Structure 1
Amino acid sequence: MSNPSSAQGPAAAARAFDAIIIGTGQAGPSLAGRLDAAGMRVAIIERHLVGGTCVNTGCKPTKTLVASAYAAQMARRGAEYGFSAGPVSVDMTVVEARARKVIMDSRKGNEDWLAGMANVELIRGHARFDGPGAIVVNGERLTAPRIFINVGGRAAVPEMPGLQDVPYLTNSSIVALDALPAHLVVVGGSYIGLEFAQMYRRFGAQVTIIERGERLIAREDADVSEAVRGILEDEGIEVHTGADRIAFERVDDVIAVSFQAGGKDARVVGSHVLMAIGRRPNTDDLGLDTAGIERDERGYITVDDHLQTSAPGVWALGDCNGRGAFTHTAYNDFEIVTANLLDGEDRRVSSRVPGYALYIDPPLGRAGMSEAEAMKTGRPLLFSKRPMTRVGRAVEKGESKGFMKVVADAETRRILGAAILGTGGDEAIHGILDMISADRPLDELRWAVPIHPTVSELIPTLLVDLAPAPDRG
């Protein structure tokens, strides 16, 4: 490991490696492992926490918190299932400690994994490019013919009136909260904001969502957005959409958030504010220009279909390249790069079928195109939709909110996309995701014999109901 106290200046002789990896997010350690197994000498550089967003502030802690919130909610519903748990209160110190343990265990697992790689050196420090093929970290110059950028992203916090004068949370800081907010105001009605809104409502906080768009999660179809809003409002979450001129003010020990909606002035007073209005890549302080590495107008590193940047011998993986915003897409970036570099394959990002989930309860699983995206293609389409009230497994569990729907190409009989908003939707969607990825006709899945009782067993029935006119009920 490099020691900052004994680091040499940039003018000293550089240390040469076969590969340099900047960042230890989802793609970094896996990439280091493959390169190590290939006998390459690798430097992997991390300036903050090993494991990146997923391990430290993203998937691992947030889904742990979601699980705690789900357990509390089910305990409150005990009478529906024939038992009584009594009044339910949440100890946030225990909830936070549980999430922190998951973080620490996962982080240590990554650190131990890297430490066990014979040809890999973990260097802690801030890496910057020092011309083509060269990195400076802790005052030491490193060179390699292959450099991989895996620096991830962070919460975007734009300038808004008064925001600099009030305390606010982001997805990174809220996971460490060990006290229950009296009233959490969530600014942003997309994936991150909605997950935290529901979990903190279930922990016992009053929650308000303020979204600038005309509906929640605007990239989803309108019926999905409307159903998600209904689910949240049914749990007592106040939702404001079409909010404009959002401003913040400190009033004694609370925070006032003012805005306009529907032509009227509105004001919400909360104890805590969560800013959840998007992400930005960590690319602004890497010295990319010195190496000829181009970025787009949002700061994402420009890459081709093989994830190569504009500089020879440099690749960008994960959230920083703008080609995916998920742990699984970052991991797939690693798979693409190593398949092409080490296995003689020709894997491309454009072959990846988009799939993701929104982890409210019930979850939303998505694969391929949305209905709106499919309609823009001009293809002849087939549609099918079924409420979760007609899914036996959902009824048996007492979790029948939501629906499942699919859109297909009428001529090729290929599934173009699907959404399952309902219990188990994040798991059941994979049957459809796999069919799209395999590029097989939907009739093959239609004649599968799924297990009963499951959510997935309704997928063949959903395909049987495909028809030219969509059911928008």
Structure 2
Amino acid sequence: MPHHQLVIIGTGSGNTLVTDELEGLDIAIVEAGRFGGTCLNVGCIPTKMFVLPADRVVEAEDASRIGVTVTGASADWAAIRDRVFARIDPIADGGEEYRVSQEFVTVYKAEARFVGERRLLLSTGEELTADRIVVAAGSRPRGLPIEGLTGADPARGVHTSDTVMRMDRLPRRMVVIGGGFVACEFAYVFAAYGVEVTQVQRSATLLSREEAEVAHTYTAVSAERIDLRLGTVVTDAEYDGSEWTLSLGGPDGPAQVRADTVLLAVGRDPNTDRIDAEAGGLATDASGLLVVDERLRTSVPEVWALGDVCSEDQLKHVANHHARIVAHNLAVDFGRTPGEPRTLDDRVIPHGVFGHPQIAAFGPTRAQLEAAGTEFVCYTQRFSDVAQGWALEDPHGLLTVHATPDGRILAAHCIGPHSSTLIQPLIQAATFGQRALEVARGQYWIHPALAEVVENALLGLPLESS
């Protein structure tokens, strides 16, 4: 039975744990799929590469607002798909080849599940034990408890985010089930590429966890571009060999929608069941996430976890933050580096939604602040009220900032062009404790850049000192 000093399960952010400080240790990496994890292969990176062509098509369609006529803008699915994966696949392959080439690293191409404390059974039948284990096993797309829609079945036109980007050809009609990040981004992309998209969302708005005005704005824009069914659930599904008929229950009663392809985008589940965490003594919460402390230690000594398998924030930048903490703490634990273990910093966790319009946010919404009884002030700055907004003729963009009455920034919620870039000064200010007026008045703001939206939002806050 092979024994290793360290076993890492998963090669997303888990692959970054093999740092210089650990070189020479007996390290094993267990990975059944492609190196690079969700983000590289089926998540953040390829999806954003599909978003960019969609943006160009939509910008062409909307160019008449600024007096420009663009005709014939369309997306070449095969060219876009092949460009994306010609870039990504060699990175995944190269990552695996590099680890295999390291003399002190053993790569097991297999699935792993716990059969005891720090004891793993691989799908090859081999068993491993280890002094220390890091669980970086990630998450997977969730299906529906409806026959035919329990998971991806590409041969019958049922996809998840794991499979939909490698389709041979675009379908004529697609039903996207869900209203979160993944659903909204793909609904936008495929509609821009010319697919007839119906999106089915059980809540009253898309992106219902966002600030109310942001969610309502995004929902209204989407309803202009696709067939959007709100307050609706799928109750049944039938496949006739070429076409799906989905039965729906919604505010107007029963209905049906037909499509060539169905995209399941109803959430993701942590892979704690696949690794049989319970058999390894690892505690999980009601959501199935591994329970970890501020050092990312699990309930079992010398076992850590990181990323989607232990975090409600299923974001690559969160997993990377976790990996930096675990890598340092491993080095301390192995006596390879001096100092104290590091702990989580989850004060400000931003996220983005790369649909149309783009969204970025961090911190609580107005409703959450009110429910918590937090004293706060807020201001909403519309893109259309700054000079660059005039140039863009942007009808939807807005930035809402929530702050304490004395100017400490609590949250920001943005929708509009370049939101994921525009919000970064506010993330920085909130993280480092800068006050609103200090940020607004303590530096030059390029005029007439879109960043003036941030400046004006901060100046608009009704602060005690203003």
The alignment's TM-score, normalised by the length of structure 1, stands at: 0.89
Instruction: Report the Cα offset of residue 285 of structure 1.
Output: 2.6
CA contact (8 A) 2:149 2:264 kept: no
Instruction: Report the Cα offset of residue 104 of structure 1.
Output: 0.7
- Equivalent position amino acid for 1:406 in 2: V
Structure 1 residue aligned with 2:176: 186
- The verdict on how the C-alpha distance between 1:82 and 1:459 changes in structure 2, with shifts beyond 3 A counting, is closer
Of 247, 250, 255, which residue of structure 2 is paired with 1:261? 250
* 1:436-447 pair list within 5 angstroms: 436-447=430-441
* 1:35-434 pair list within 5 angstroms: 35-37=21-23, 39-77=24-62, 85-115=70-100, 117-137=102-122, 138-160=124-146, 163=149, 167-234=157-224, 236-244=225-233, 246-251=235-240, 253-342=242-331, 344-349=339-344, 351-411=346-406, 413-434=407-428
| Cα RMSD after superposing both structures | 2.3
Structure 2 residue aligned with 1:4: none
CA distance in structure 2 between the aligned counterparts of 1:109 and 1:398, rounded to whole angstroms:
44
CA distance in structure 2 between the aligned counterparts of 1:388 and 1:70, rounded to whole angstroms:
19
Instruction: Report the Cα offset of residue 293 of structure 1.
Output: 0.8
- Which shows bigger deviation, 91-100 or 147-156? 91-100
Instruction: Report the Cα offset of residue 227 of structure 1.
Output: 0.4
- Equivalent position amino acid for 1:437 in 2: T
- The verdict on how the C-alpha distance between 1:59 and 1:423 changes in structure 2, with shifts beyond 3 A counting, is same
Instruction: Report the Cα offset of residue 353 of structure 1.
Output: 1.5
CA contact (8 A) 1:151 1:282 kept: yes
Instruction: Report the Cα offset of residue 82 of structure 1.
Output: 6.2
- Equivalent position amino acid for 1:264 in 2: G
CA contact (8 A) 1:394 1:423 kept: no
Identity of aligned residues (%): 29
Instruction: Report the Cα offset of residue 425 of structure 1.
Output: 0.6
Deviations, residues 118-140 of structure 1 (Å, cap 9, x unaligned): 53222211222232222233333
- Which shows bigger deviation, 447-456 or 151-160? 447-456
Deviations, residues 166-209 of structure 1 (Å, cap 9, x unaligned): 64111111111231221111111111001000111110111111
CA contact (8 A) 1:355 1:368 kept: yes
CA contact (8 A) 2:53 2:75 kept: no
- Equivalent position amino acid for 1:250 in 2: Y
- The verdict on how the C-alpha distance between 1:397 and 1:465 changes in structure 2, with shifts beyond 3 A counting, is same
Instruction: Report the Cα offset of residue 79 of structure 1.
Output: 5.4
- The verdict on how the C-alpha distance between 1:72 and 1:313 changes in structure 2, with shifts beyond 3 A counting, is same
- For these two proteins, the number of residue pairs brought into alignment is 452
Deviations, residues 242-291 of structure 1 (Å, cap 9, x unaligned): 11453212246321222122252222222211111100112213232332
Deviations, residues 83-139 of structure 1 (Å, cap 9, x unaligned): 665323332111211122132133134224434645322221122223222223333
Deviations, residues 313-354 of structure 1 (Å, cap 9, x unaligned): 101111111342011110010112223343634533353422
- Equivalent position amino acid for 2:246 in 1: V
Instruction: Report the Cα offset of residue 35 of structure 1.
Output: 5.0
Structure 2 residue aligned with 1:451: 446
Structure 2: where are the runs of 5+ without partners?
332-336
CA distance in structure 2 between the aligned counterparts of 1:394 and 1:422, rounded to whole angstroms:
10
- The verdict on how the C-alpha distance between 1:463 and 1:89 changes in structure 2, with shifts beyond 3 A counting, is closer
Deviations, residues 416-458 of structure 1 (Å, cap 9, x unaligned): 1001111111011111111111123222212232223332232
CA distance in structure 2 between the aligned counterparts of 1:245 and 1:159, rounded to whole angstroms:
10
- Which shows bigger deviation, 83-92 or 174-183? 83-92
CA distance in structure 1 between the aligned counterparts of 2:107 and 2:393, rounded to whole angstroms:
49
CA distance in structure 2 between the aligned counterparts of 1:116 and 1:457, rounded to whole angstroms:
50
The alignment's TM-score, normalised by the length of structure 2, stands at: 0.90
CA distance in structure 2 between the aligned counterparts of 1:464 and 1:210, rounded to whole angstroms:
40
